[in-house]
Amino acid sequence: MSSEWAQNTWFQSVCIFFSIESVIPVSLSQAFTIMDQNRDGFIDKNDLRDTFAALGRLNVKQEEIDDMLKEAPGPINFTVFLTMFGEKLKGADPEETILNAFKVFDPEGKGVLRKDYVTQMLTTQADRFSAEEMEQMFAAFPPDVAGNLDYKNLVHIITHGEEKDQE
């Protein structure tokens, strides 16, 4: 049951939430609007810094932001944003792509996220999960006794439909 649920509801919702693998222009339009914090039609350094802050990453190095902006051929308007997403997704491994999305919220690389933090992010950002969807997710993928969600195993189940062998 958890595999079927994971491959349908969770995968689609995570993809939309993180705007990854979702090449539906409406979702990407929403992602662009969220990132264009000052609403000038372009994503710049300040927009990226504000977006990271909204996601809980307050100490992003200026070099990291500069590197991100260097990937664009010029100012990042919606058309450039779409093109960049298309290039990033071309040939991308879905498992690696989803893992990278989770890693944004796990700067220490522990492979787990606190249940309350996951709940907060998924119920307050972008395409928000309902309380029922959160219950379904945690029933299918229960956190450990310390309240941590093993997102590496979760991503493996989402993309492969089976639990990863413990190493």
Element of type H or E holding 35: helix 25-35
- CA-CA distance, 36 to 50, in Å (whole number)? 9
Strand partners, 150: 112
In contact, 21 and 15? CB cutoff 8 Å: yes
Tokens of 159: 């993309």
Measuring CA to CA, which residue among 111, 104, 93, 91 is closest to residue 57?
A: 104
- CA-CA distance, 27 to 161, in Å (whole number)? 25
Q: What is the structure's pLDDT at 13?
A: 42
Strand partners, 32: none
- CA-CA distance, 105 to 82, in Å (whole number)? 23
Q: What is the structure's pLDDT at 89?
A: 60
Instruction: Give domain 95-160's CATH number out of 3.40.50.9100, 3.40.640.10, 2.60.40.1930, 1.10.238.10.
Output: 1.10.238.10
Q: What is the structure's pLDDT at 113?
A: 92
Per-10-residue mean pLDDT of the chain, 167 residues long, equals 41 44 53 86 92 82 89 86 71 73 83 90 78 82 92 79 58
Amino acid at site 60? V
Q: Hey, where are the domains in the chain?
A: 25-90, 95-160
pTM of the model: 0.47
Same fold, 25-90 and 95-160: yes
Q: What is the structure's pLDDT at 162?
A: 60
Residue 121 φ/ψ region, left for φ over 0, alpha for ψ in the -120 to 50 degree band, beta for the rest: alpha
> 25-90, what's its fold?
Recoverin; domain 1 (1.10.238)
Q: What is the structure's pLDDT at 145?
A: 95
